[in-house]
Structure 1
Amino acid sequence: MKLVNVETPEANVCKMTFSATAEELEAASEAVYERTRDSYTIKGFEKGQADRAQIEADRGEHTFWYDAINDLMDRDVPALYEGALAEHGYEPVDEPAYDLVSVKKDEGFVATATVALRPALTFKQTEGFTAKCTTPATADREVEQTIERRRQAAAELVPHKGPAVKGNVVHIDYSGYIDGRQFPGGTATSQAVELGRGQMIPGFEEGILGHKAGEEFNVDVTFPARYHAQDLAGKAAVFKIKLIDVCVRQLPALNSDFAKKVGKVDSMDALRAQIRQQIEERKHNAALNRAKSNIILQLADAAEGELPSPLVESAYQAEMQNFQQQLRMQRMTLDQYLSQTHQTRESFTAAVRASAERNTRARMALLQLAEEKGLTPTDAELDAQLAQKAEQAKKTLAEVKERTDLRALRRNEAIRRAMDYVVEHSTIEEG
């Protein structure tokens, strides 16, 4: 393979173009065929007996191309990429994004690598920022709520002979059937289920209500239309259930024994004081972190210059994915969230993009400040840091370095040090 071109299609963005000849593609495809031929089953042949021409006639002439392209890119592009960066004096601030431009049997293939470069920013200010650290007061009810959560966690499960009702914890063996056949993932033994919590698919927990320990019975359910396993979505199923036991939660008394067990203190008054202190410390630390973040965002606002668009886009996509994951954990869709918060999709995405751009500007500002203040870690410092990881993992330093993105590690450590520097040279007012 060879490097065809290096260009900067926009500010702080480098695009490299690589190509491989038809002969290189053919040689790599033949290597892939030899490596994988035994895995192919072609009609009329025993597994692994069809030759390359027969496989390509059945699967298409491109069958081995994409593995071959990956092999060639993995083998040749890293050195070409690093050489181009060094020749042009470019400093990447993210991983490159690769795209396959074209691939033809008689021409080979062309691919590109696009990478964001560190921008040159101009600072209006780098020190002397001010932020307030306001710690919310802790109410008595917060202390009592924490005690109740710990009480619930310390509850003991006590079997009883009565019928199962909501709030009971049952232990069951079950196996699921669709059209009379067991389906993968539909069986369990001694599964604990708290009835009424909605842990299982709709209808499953309701089918256990009223049954007693030792009973065996069937529960008919229908998987939700949007079930995560698409092969089960919307299908009717029968679960054969054996109810091992029905348990009630027996809460401990709020006395000195409870205080000793959960807080290692002698009385409930001492436990309440301990919990209040823990809540206050947690709130103060959260408030302090918010103040530090505010200072860093002030640095971002004081840094002027054009950011690489791929870096902003990557940050935007990451923030969107993180937010949507949080919504899924709350069993909420984005449309439901927007309805509750009275936002349009356009205003929401615009706000997320603005946040991504501001956070990206902060990281780039910190990275530049680290260089200006001599805070970028040296090779020796990175080696010392990795040596500790190697010792913990019982590996050699060389093994750990081989699996570490040293450029990203250096960048992240530089940003961390610069963040500490900016905070230390700013003022956080308590109040």
Structure 2
Amino acid sequence: MKVTQEKLPASQIGLEIEITPEKSKQVYEQVVQQFSRSLNIPGFRRGKVPRHILLQRLGQTRLKATALEDLINESLQKALEQENIEAIGNFELRSEFEQLLNQFEPGQPLTFLAAVDVEPEAKLGQYTGLQLKVEDVNYDAEQVDRVLEQYRAEKATLIPAEGRSAQLGDMALLDFQGRFAVAPEGEEPQEIPGGKAEDFQVELQENQFIPGFIAGIIGMNPGETKEIPVDFPEEYGNQELAGESAVFTITLKELKEKELPELDDDFAQEISEFETLAELRESLEKRFKEEQESKITANKEGALLKALEETIEVEIPETMISREVEYLMTQQAMQLSNYGIDIKQFFTKENIPGIRERSRPQAIERIKQSLALVQVAKQESISVEEAEILKEERKVMSQLKDKDVDPDRLREVVEADLLKTKTLKWLEEHSTIELVPEGSLTPIDDEEDDEEDDVETSASDATVSVEAESVVEEG
């Protein structure tokens, strides 16, 4: 079999494959025999159908098309082995199949064109001596106190609030009925669908519900009824209510306050494995400092990867992009699911093409960074020792002891992750990284918003059910 190679753009290799007359006849005869053995024609035993009857029943075109498909698949596989080509993904037939079918005659030579994706060749620019600025992450010493107060709130006992009106932090038991503030001329204001509830318990916290709802309850006394005007936000989940003005008639039935437990050793023992409050504080402080260091490390790694991405020259095959896009979509589905969103409503037949297209830039960015890291490791002879791999495998297996794990895949992932960590460490040691104040490069709020952009944008079309709880909750 004669094979001619051609280098194509986007990390593809074009192949011109010439099939010999003997091979074309052999495969065609095999197809005829297969149909003869499998076809059930009344009056003939299986495998004993005369050739001319078989041709009449199936038609010459169907037999030739089947034989041609087999020829292409078999010849391409042998061509890759013969030429030592490590292809990724499926092949692309560059010749028109219908044209090949018209040309195909068993016992005659046949030539067709195909293309396969291969691992791309990456070329790196200057990757040592990088001058980078990275945001520092401040340690918040008050975080420990806030967490402990949160634990106390979770363990609080509710007791009746006597001799006073409602205030922030109280638990209130309400009856409420909502109606639209504006009614068509000559008609009574319409009730809000689902905007009614009895014995509805709510914690009086700011920014928890529709603006004005909680604020209107503050200062009420048990047994009091009050009308509270509110405006549904323009971006409220239920489009029928978004931007509408409403009035809620609220009756405060009961008012309770939280009695917090003492912050002492007994409390520490109740909520943790520690014997003393001091030990619990020390553990929390250690955890938050480790998180701070992890965030700084992540910032450094992100800056290094971005710098590498800007130096690499590479043509990425479509197969790699498609795989990375599918990975990102899977991650997004898991994230949406964690937010309580039904992914079947989001990943619809109509939405998926657009989601794929929006995921391509991030997929390409990730691939470039990964290829650049691999190239640095090759050029600098950075490798991972067998002992390191085995140690990490044991660590991961201990965490996944109840899971069904593919050992080969685990080894592949562990080795890649260790190599990435080593290479990034090497790059950091051969670069100059300046820590600058937190928020000076990217405002903190914007950064946090970016992390949730995909989820919030993706979920923007989701419909929020109109029940008592969802009506008063802020969309």
TM tier, smaller: 0.3 to 0.5
Instruction: State which structure, 1 or 2, has the greater radius of gyration over its C-alpha atoms.
Output: 2
Q: What TM-score comes out, normalization by structure 1 length?
A: 0.48
Q: Which has the higher contact order (CA 8 A, sep 6+)?
A: 2
Q: What TM-score comes out, normalization by structure 2 length?
A: 0.44
